[in-house]
Amino acid sequence: MVPKLLTLAATVLLLAGCAQKLQVDLAAEKAAVQTVLDNYVTAVEQEDWAAYSAVMSEATDMVNFGAFGPPVVGQDGMKQVIQGQFDGLANVTIEVSDMRIEVEPSTQFAWATCLWTFKGKMGETPLELPVRCTWILKKETGKWLILHWHKSVAAG
């Protein structure tokens, strides 16, 4: 009888410990994801590759989709596309609206959607695009990083 009680007590303590571990502050996790996405926008506006790459996962098999052109594959492909954007556009500003962030309960993955009003100049030509964005983030070594993004220009 005593061994069964000890086993039961140990099981209850173990489950209680697991339950406490599973309790996470989802609001804090969403705020951390928001900060990563804010830093992404700032990096694009400031044409800062170092800041841009700091919020991106280094997954070599990453495939992203921009508003135009073919899929963007891996860090090298991403750097080429983003550097081309930095070189081809000036005075970029991004107004973000309708941000929605969800964090998976294990807090290993998060996803977000938002709308952008992307403004800039291509040479002397002003540019304003309504952009729809989707993001997937993964927590790597305790830090949220963008694993995938997809942007499309809204029709109309």
Residue 48 lies in a domain: yes
What's the rounded Cα separation, in Å, for the pair 94 and 31? Answer: 19
pLDDT at 61: 85
Q: pTM of this prediction?
A: 0.81
* Domain CATH for 73: 3.10.450.50
Do 49 and 86 meet the contact criterion of CB atoms below 8 Å apart? yes
pLDDT of residue 141: 92
For residue 124, give its domain range.
25-153
How many CB atoms sit inside 10 A of residue 25's CB?
Answer: 11
List average pLDDT for each run of 10 residues in the chain, which is 156 residues long.
55 51 83 98 96 91 84 88 92 98 94 97 95 96 94 81
CA dihedral for 115, 101, 108, 29, sign (positive or negative)? positive
Strands 72-73, 143-153: pairing kind? unpaired
**Domain assignment present for 10:** no
Residue 7 lies in a domain: no
Q: What is the pLDDT of residues 115-150, one digit of tens each?
A: 999 999 999 999 999 999 999 999 999 999 999 999
Report if residue 145 sits inside a domain.
yes
pLDDT of residue 156: 63
Q: What is the DSSP letter of 154?
A: P
Give the total number of structural domains in the chain.
Answer: 1
